[in-house]
Structure 1
Amino acid sequence: MGPPRPRSGAPRGGGRRGCGVRTLRTAASRRGVPRAGARRARGREPAATRGGPRRLRGGRERPGGVAGPDAASEPDPGPRADRRVRPRARDAARPSHRGGAVSRELPFVKMHGAGNDFVVLDGIRHELPPLEPLARWLADRHRGIGFDQLLVVRPSRTADYRMEIYNADGSRAEMCANGIRAFFKYLRDHGHTAADAIRIETLAGVVVPRAVGPDRVQVEMGRPVLAPAKIPTRLGEGDGPVLDVPLDVAGRRLLVSAISMGNPHCVVYVDDVDAAPLETLGPLLERHEAFPNRVNVELVEVVSRRRVRQRTWERGTGETLACGSGACAVAAVSMLRGVSERTLTVELRGGELEIGWAAPEAPIYMTGPAAEVFRGAIALPDPGGA
């Protein structure tokens, strides 16, 4: 099946009609805030008259018999309730832009962790189409839903659950620390588990998130990988660490450090992170020959021994408001370079994360927020109609 296309005619914000996304529930509605145009209560047809004629508005009767005694008093659901409850026949047969009929709607949940935003699909409860083309389409912030990463819930044989991660370009990612927090909150809020701590399998290994407060999650991230061959990078040999290695990029000499938190990171310290040309250096470093699997790029400004500021260019996505594994990488490199304490606040454009690394042989712990933004469903085309 090729990439699904938006269904014309599905409602969109601002009264315009475009992408086939239907919002089911928002954070406001979950708090009990009334929504405009909320569904009106529908009366149930009396048992004695089911299947028989009904009185229509204006006093007319449907052909085929006489209306039952209660037909005139039956509540009229109105056109708005009809639209929300019954799918319209013309929508069911409307073709996609590739010529296939819309076959079903796929539920999703939009979430974020410190501004790093995700779409979560439940592969345990729903049958999912091929995910690489789907990820590229859904990631489009104009024609899809928009996200930094797509997170997919799967069963696991080695942990409680497995999290699959897709970047906006459809490529797979080994780890996403902000995504782990959002994923854990999804599992708890949507009835998969009530446990305060669980084990989640990723391509980088098993990590353990734990609830530590309302919408706050701490994640045991494991120990950082310092050996160049395992990061991987061509900037060093042996056991590492790879710290402040000169690297020429587009006529500039940079001092870069490399580390892995289950996924590769390149850390560069700058005087002013806001003025640093991340949009230029990010893609050049991401695909530099020194990093055979590409790399995530962090530009870092040291504020004090307990606080740094960070911007991230994520491999396969671009600049994001936050990167949890990147914050762990920055904290580890800062501690190895001796410019920070063993607990560090990492200030990102989307929020703050608390990182702790008690000792070289200990795991890194990351603590930060997780939030659900809204729930919805998106129309998928019929694979047989393309």
Structure 2
Amino acid sequence: MATIKFVKMHGLGNDFVMIDSRRKPTPGLKKKAVAIADRHFGVGCDQIIELLPSKKADWRMRIFNADGGEVEMCGNGIRAFAKYLWDRKDRKIRSKGYLTVETLAGIIKPVIKKNGMVEVDMGEPVLDGRKVPTIFDGPVQDLSLKAGSDEYKITAVSMGNPHCVIFTDDVDKVELEKVGPLIERHEAFPNRINVEFVQVISKNRVKARVWERGSGITLACGTGACAVGVAFAISGGGGRKTRVDLPGGSLEIEWTKENRVLMTGPATEVFSGVMDI
């Protein structure tokens, strides 16, 4: 059994256990992820985020879902990563106001804004079906997909991890705990997929609920909000700037003319502690 220091953080209620392995390795974290994430017998979280040294960027981030699976990217998590280092006066982020972070989705650049919010350049969206990945060729927009006894019109977007966006008249009526896992594990998605149900409020605002691959229902998802913003724009219903209202709060999403997706939102530290695991 090992003693591990941790910090609990969240981005709009999407919560994380932060484990700082920059100076001292944390062996076997992947195997311990399920126990750490357990809300009854562990610390409890949606994801575990590990901070590590990097040869390609300022620092490296690893992300483990509550089921123990390692994933490519987490939008709320990268904001928590940056805020964690900012609050601890990390010289790299303090000297520049931003970081370069190595992830499985590539190098990500979070920026600390004057109001304490974190803006992240999430990179270019991937719309090619095979690259998301899905089993479909070309862009997957408003495509019919049968899951269970129902049929849905889906748009597939990758923001370093795969997302299935579905527009609906009332997101609160969606039985997400029933539909989410059916779509996540649908044969159309070789690596499984995150699912977002979206209700249009206005030309620059939508309301969304999220089923995260490997974690289930969460209060917010940063990459999901980015995928929603892109899907809303290509649907013709919205522009390049969208406010995405999630159960845990709102994120501002901008799809620039340079084909980059910018996400802006908060990250909050809750408490710190030590666990034996």
Structure 2 gap segments, 5+ residues each? none
Q: Which residue of 1 aligns with 2:60?
A: 162
Q: Which residue of 2 aligns with 1:375?
A: 272
CA distance in structure 1 between the partners assigned to 2:13 and 2:27 by the alignment? 27
1:89-146 deviation digits (Å, cap 9, x = unpaired): xxxxxxxxxxxxx5x5211000011111000001113331301221100100010001
* Selected match of 1:353 from 220, 241, 251: 251
- Report whether the alignment pairs 1:305 with 2:203: yes
Q: Which residue of 1 aligns with 2:20?
A: 122
CA distance in structure 1 between the partners assigned to 2:231 and 2:49 by the alignment? 28
- Report whether the alignment pairs 1:199 with 2:96: no
Q: Which residue of 2 aligns with 1:244?
A: 142
CA shift, 1:341, in A, is 1.6
| 4+ residue segments displaced more than 4 Å | none
The one-letter amino acid paired with 2:208 is Q
CA distance in structure 2 between the partners assigned to 1:286 and 1:315 by the alignment? 6
The one-letter amino acid paired with 2:270 is V
3-state SS, counterpart of residue 113 of structure 2? strand
CA shift, 1:215, in A, is 3.1
- Report whether the alignment pairs 1:220 with 2:130: no
Q: Which residue of 2 aligns with 1:259?
A: 157
- Report whether the alignment pairs 1:322 with 2:220: yes
TM-score, normalisation: structure 2: 0.96
CA shift, 1:362, in A, is 2.3
**1:215–1:371 Cα contact (<8 Å) kept:** no
**2:226–2:263 Cα contact (<8 Å) kept:** yes
CA distance in structure 1 between the partners assigned to 2:120 and 2:195 by the alignment? 22
Tell me which protein shows more strand as a share of its residues.
Answer: 2
Structure 1 gap segments, 5+ residues each? 1-101, 381-386
**2:125–2:259 Cα contact (<8 Å) kept:** no
CA shift in 2, pair 1:184/1:174, >3 Å: same
The one-letter amino acid paired with 1:207 is I
CA distance in structure 2 between the partners assigned to 1:273 and 1:144 by the alignment? 31
- Report whether the alignment pairs 1:294 with 2:209: no
**What RMSD over aligned residues (CA atoms) do the two structures have, in Å?**
1.1
The one-letter amino acid paired with 1:278 is L
- Report whether the alignment pairs 1:362 with 2:263: no
3-state SS, counterpart of residue 353 of structure 1? strand
CA distance in structure 1 between the partners assigned to 2:245 and 2:234 by the alignment? 19
TM-score, normalisation: structure 1: 0.70
CA distance in structure 2 between the partners assigned to 1:272 and 1:337 by the alignment? 18
The one-letter amino acid paired with 1:233 is T
CA distance in structure 2 between the partners assigned to 1:214 and 1:250 by the alignment? 45
Alignment of 1:1-386 (within 5 A): 104-193=2-91, 194=94, 195-234=96-135, 236-237=136-137, 240-359=138-257, 361-380=258-277
CA distance in structure 2 between the partners assigned to 1:175 and 1:348 by the alignment? 19
3-state SS, counterpart of residue 142 of structure 2? strand
CA shift, 1:229, in A, is 1.3
The one-letter amino acid paired with 2:109 is V
- How many positions carry a matched residue from both structures? 274
1:32-81 deviation digits (Å, cap 9, x = unpaired): xxxxxxxxxxxxxxxxxxxxxxxxxxxxxxxxxxxxxxxxxxxxxxxxxx
- Percent identity over paired residues: 51
The one-letter amino acid paired with 2:165 is V
CA shift, 1:358, in A, is 2.5
CA distance in structure 2 between the partners assigned to 1:264 and 1:214 by the alignment? 31
3-state SS, counterpart of residue 292 of structure 1? coil
1:150-184 deviation digits (Å, cap 9, x = unpaired): 00001111111100000000000101011000000
1:225-267 deviation digits (Å, cap 9, x = unpaired): 0111110001x21xx3210111111111111111100000001
